[in-house]
Amino acid sequence: MKENILQKKLAAGETVFGPFCKMQDPAIVEIAALSNFDFVIIDMEHGPYGIESTQNMIRAAEAQGITPVVRVTENSETLILRTLDIGARCIQVPQICTKEDADKLVKSTKFYPKGERGMCRYVRAAEYTNITGADHFGKANNTVTTIIHIEGMEGIENLTDIVQVDGIDVIFLGPYDLSQSCGVPGEVDHPKVVNAMKEAVETAKKYGKAVGTFTESPEKAKMWSDIGVQYVSYAVDVGLVMNAFKEITSQLK
């Protein structure tokens, strides 16, 4: 069974960094690993990934020793099952707004007695039966990291209930969707957004949950990590490439 390195780093109190990935070429995962990022987020929600291409991205991450996190499109039992079965050890789920949403998610990510995840060991997660059923079903509950997106004021208002759900590991605060919910779409540095996020960090930490968010500059990454955010998603592969290309062409032309 593959080791969940991200889980261990978060448990040790480390701050970890990684980009969202939309490019489907596994080379981008290898490059992120060689650049010393801690994780990559394979973005099925806003990226063009299917289950097959996601599986290959996971393989590339494991080969280079970087943790693959998969952001699925929705809180869907079937989609989450398929994503875990292809070997994802960290799963990130958008639009969690209520305790009921969080309870439903845990049922999808955990086997009995914590949940109702579909059982099959003829899958990549169990090394195609190389891992015994007892080991796979017995250990998976403790080796899968479940990350939830809080992306609107409804989720912020219900956060105290959400963070008390056993089986939720990381509270990820999505600044862009939250800005829209606050009535200032795209203004992620607006006081309404920043203050709501700071309060959410305090609530999550009070209940012993790790917190994550998205940043686009080293300065903002440091600001949030100083506040207590451990899981820092730094920008997006396509944006990073675009910025690098533009910087070069501005000097060439």
Where in the chain are the domains?
A: 5-252
Q: By C-alpha distance, which of 76, 86, 8, 72 is closest to 41?
A: 72
How far is CA 179 from its chain centroid? 19
pLDDT digits (tens, 9 = 90+) for 81-129: 999 999 999 999 999 999 999 999 999 999 999 999 999 999 999 999 9
CATH topology of domain 5-252: TIM Barrel (3.20.20)
pTM, rounded to two decimals: 0.96
CA–CA dist 128, 119 (Å, integer): 13
Half-sphere exposure of 105 (CA within 13 A, CB side): 30
pLDDT digits (tens, 9 = 90+) for 146-191: 999 999 999 999 999 999 999 999 999 999 999 999 999 999 999 9
Token match 């305790």: residue? 99
SS3 category, 203: helix
pLDDT at residue 3 greater than cutoff 90: no
pLDDT digits (tens, 9 = 90+) for 43-80: 999 999 999 999 999 999 999 999 999 999 999 999 99
Cβ(221)–Cβ(17) below 8 Å: yes
